[in-house]
Amino acid sequence: MISRILVGLQFFFIFLMVLPLDTQTQHPYVGIFITLVGLVIGLLGIYEHKSDNFNIRPAIKENCELVTTGIYAYIRHPMYLSVLIGMFGIVVIYFTYYELALYILLFVTMFIKMFYEESLWKCHSPAYIEYMKKTKRFLPFIF
pLDDT in tens, 110-141: 999 999 999 999 998 889 999 999 999 988 77
Q: Where are the domains of the chain?
A: 26-52+65-134
3-state percent breakdown (helix, strand, coil) of the chain, nearest 5 = 65, 0, 35
Cβ-contact 139, 75 below 8 angstroms:
yes
**pTM for the structure as a whole:** 0.90
Cβ-contact 92, 34 below 8 angstroms:
yes
Distance CA 108, CA 113 (A): 9
pLDDT tens by residue, 25-84: 889 999 999 999 999 999 999 999 876 677 778 777 777 788 999 999 999 999 999 999
The whole-number pLDDT of residue 40 equals: 97
Separation of first and last alpha carbons in the chain:
28
